[in-house]
Amino acid sequence: MAKVIHIRDVPDAVHAALTHAAQSQGVSLTRYVQRELKRPAEREHLVRHNVEVIRRTQEQVRGGLDREAILKELHDGRTE
């Protein structure tokens, strides 16, 4: 279920910039801010995933880190 977030004390200049950006993309301010908030959340998910891939790779290599093995695991993990 979707949640509601209220943000107080947004400076006028920030609100104006967000409103202008939303209008220039032809979307509502709400839709624009939803999209912008989604990006860091998705990045966080990718970072956590990459940390897990690196951990698994380190276990496989048993301490001797091999750059190519890590890059292969990262690539394979992203295609899962």
pLDDT tens digits along 20-70: 999 999 999 999 999 999 988 888 888 888 888 888 877 777 666 677 877
H helix runs in 27-66, sequence order: 29-61
What phi and psi, each to the nearest 5 degrees, are found at residue 25?
-100, 0
Structure tokens at 57: 């790779």
Residue 52 lies in a domain: yes
Give the pLDDT of residue 75: 86
Distance CA 34, CA 48 (A): 22
Residue 2 lies in a domain: no
Statement: residue 11 has pLDDT above 90: yes
Distance CA 69, CA 18 (A): 43
Q: Is the pTM of the predicted complex or chain greater than 0.75?
A: no
Domain housing 37: 12-78
* CA-atom Rg of the chain in angstroms: 20
Residue 1 lies in a domain: no
Residue 7 lies in a domain: no
Give the pLDDT of residue 80: 65
Q: What number is the average pLDDT over the span 5-13?
A: 94
Tally the domains of the chain. 1
Residue 69 lies in a domain: yes
